[in-house]
Amino acid sequence: MNDRKSKSPLGDLGVSVAISSLNLKYQQKSVLKDLNWNINRSENWVLGGTSGSGKTSLAKIIAGLQNAIGEVKINFDTGSHLPAEVLFVESWYQFKNLEGVANFYYQQRYTSQQAKDTLTVHAELVGFGKENGLHFDHVEPILEALNFATFASSQLIELSSGEHKKLQLVKALWLKPQFLIIDQPYTGLDASSRKNLNILLDEISADGVQLILICNDSELPSSINHFAEIKNGQLVEVDSIDTVSATEKHSREIPYFLKESPVYSSQNIIKMVDVNISYGEKQVLKNINWEVKAGEKWLLQGHNGSGKSTLLSLVNGDHPQSYANELYLFGNRRGSGESIWDIKQHIGLISPEFHWYFDATSTVWQSIASGFYDTVGLFQQLPYTKSAQVDELIAYFGLTGSKNELLNTMPLGKQRLVLLARTIIKNPELLILDEPCQGLDIQQTQHFNQLVDELCSNGMTLIYVGHFESQLPTCLEKRILLENGEVKIVESLNTKTRHNEVRSNLLHGTI
């Protein structure tokens, strides 16, 4: 069990956190082995490296959220005006409804029945402020900097992954604890928000907050002055984020059944004519006109809150307002007699929101196999040929040793790999990848995007949502850019200009 000391008068010794002989086992597997780490005052760290190495577990132990064998001493500065707390911001936001439970389903975000079932952003912040004795006028500049002030009346369940991340960050920046640990701080954030977040982190660091950021991102606050990773259960300091380890490379051949071209039911995959989506007086999509032909590879971009997730919910058949619009999917007018399952059989989808609501009590094998039936768990036995395909894909992603493990017991990065495998298992006509590389380390990201490129070379249609230029596959041919619910740009991309154009837009915060 951890030995923790709070509000220690040892602040003048210069050590904020002292960790010695820390050990952690999970299912008989050693994650941390006699780990030692001293964090001195004025030090701000990035903890990077491979998925599943123990980064998040270590952060939770420091924050007192997970037990381990060893000694962890937190020496708060008794002379500081900041709260003597260690705040851990998880990789995604775990919210509940008004009855205090989190029993949500994926499509619920888009239905009218969920109205008033969760708090609004404003109510959530008011409650947090009262609980922690904070002044509300101090949060307003943070909301403005992260472009989140306009979401005050939005229900928590209506928010996208990037918007949920912003809510987490707003709370943390408002509280300003003496020690702040953020797991994947940039997940789902557009370029402008990432830039402003770094400025805000530098400001609170100057005010005395110490930081640990768990990520592999290269665009970091200037106040970050130490870098480390966990290797073989030990903490190893490195020179920069660029020198952390990556997942071991492998050159497995893509499964044979994924080399076949998809069988298209129509050459017209998507057609939207003056599509409008509103929630009460709030219009989310405005006069959208967009066509996607079989075999095209699209990049979908836009600021957080621009309408990307709502647009994809129309394509995937999840949004009930699709019936009130002129929308054609796979050659058929929406509402002409097809069911939601008729639509989904053509599509492979991964998104942060889908990951939230997926049945995490399924095993790895069951999770991937469920992709054949578009369910959030496996409820029937697979025939031999389909079972063999699941095994092939598990081997391709290097998950054979984990195929019988429960999804919710695995590191976040490996959970995402499992759901990515589920997405492509049926070799769909349309692949929708919404921020697919969240939670993956650098090598896993490169490996997955190489797979995407190979799948698309066989004729698969692609819609790819990505905020990070370094996390895009090379096969992308066209781009649609949303701004405040409207189509701002529809353009063709080519391999020579795509990299420079997208990078320029990212650097200038336009996407």
pLDDT per residue as tens digits for the range 324-373 = 899 999 999 988 878 888 888 899 998 887 887 787 788 999 999 999 98
Q: How many helices (H) and strands (E) does the chain have?
A: 13, 19
| Per-residue pLDDT, 102 | 47
| Per-residue pLDDT, 322 | 82
Distance CA 287, CA 274 (A): 4
| Per-residue pLDDT, 321 | 83
Single pTM value for the model: 0.83
Q: Provide CATH code, domain 11-243.
A: 3.40.50.300
Q: What burial class does residue 320 get, using C-beta atoms within 10 Å of its C-beta: 0-12 exposed, 13-18 middle, 19+ buried?
A: middle
Between residues 263 and 132, which one has the greater pLDDT? 132
| Per-residue pLDDT, 91 | 83
| Per-residue pLDDT, 367 | 93
Residue 457 C-alpha from the chain's centroid: 26
Instruction: Give the number of other CB atoms < 10 A from CB of residue 55.
Output: 27
Residue 13 confidence class, pLDDT cut points 50, 70, 90? low
Compute the average pLDDT of residues 435-464: 85
Q: For 103-107, 117-121, 214-218, 480-484, which range has the lowest pLDDT when averaged over its residues?
A: 103-107
Please tell me whether residue 201 adopts helix, strand or coil conformation.
helix
Q: Phi first, then psi: give them for residue 442, nearest 5 degrees.
A: -60, -45
Compute the average pLDDT of residues 230-239: 94
Across the chain, mean pLDDT equals 85
- The residues spanned by each domain of the chain are 11-243
| Per-residue pLDDT, 496 | 42
| Per-residue pLDDT, 385 | 93
| Per-residue pLDDT, 94 | 65
Q: How far apart are the first and last CA of the chain?
A: 46
| Per-residue pLDDT, 10 | 41
> In this predicted model, what pLDDT tens digit does every residue of 290-320 receive, in sequence order?
999 999 999 999 988 899 989 998 998 888 8
Residue 241 confidence class, pLDDT cut points 50, 70, 90? confident
| Per-residue pLDDT, 269 | 96
| Per-residue pLDDT, 153 | 86
| Per-residue pLDDT, 455 | 86
Residue 251 confidence class, pLDDT cut points 50, 70, 90? low
Contacts of 497 (CB under 8 A, 6+ apart): none
Do 316 and 349 touch, CB atoms closer than 8 A?
Answer: yes
Secondary structure element (H or E) that encloses residue 267, with its range: none
